[in-house]
Amino acid sequence: MFCAQAFHNLIRQKETSGNIQGIVVSPHAPLLTHILFADLTLIFSQIEPEVMMCIQWILCSFARASRLKINLEKTAMAFSKNVPQATKESLTGILGVEVIAKHENYLGLSRTVGRSKSKVFEGLTRRIWYQLQS
């Protein structure tokens, strides 16, 4: 829990200083920069080399302070469909991670959620409903 809070604080520090800007998820919601799960962290940002270097700084600072190793083999980036391939390659090269397709799953759920949220969570709700009926 302390590690998650430290990671959150590093991201907030860079967000406050204007180095990272999150994404809009709703007109009335604050910008979304990150989501922390038990074993998964999602970071949302603009696609600029300076932002990727800032994220790299956050990851390195966190790893150094926590003495935890970030497994880059399990780290990936997803982009919106209008990002050119050359930009994707340039940005993933900064962090040294792979690009994933939006349709890939993690723990049975889609790694990305587009406009059709009901389609993404349909399988999960079906499994929960099945368990409740059993």
The whole-number pLDDT of residue 54 equals 93
Instruction: Please list the pLDDT of the chain residue by residue as tens digits (134 residues).
Output: 567 888 888 989 999 999 998 888 778 888 888 888 777 788 888 888 999 999 999 999 989 988 888 888 888 888 888 889 899 888 888 988 888 876 555 555 555 555 555 665 666 677 767 777 76
For tokens 């930009």, what's the residue?
A: 87
This prediction's pTM: 0.68
Alpha-carbon distance 45 to 60, whole Å? Answer: 18
How many residues can be counted in the chain? 134
User: Quick count: other Cβ atoms within 10 Å of Cβ 57?
Assistant: 13
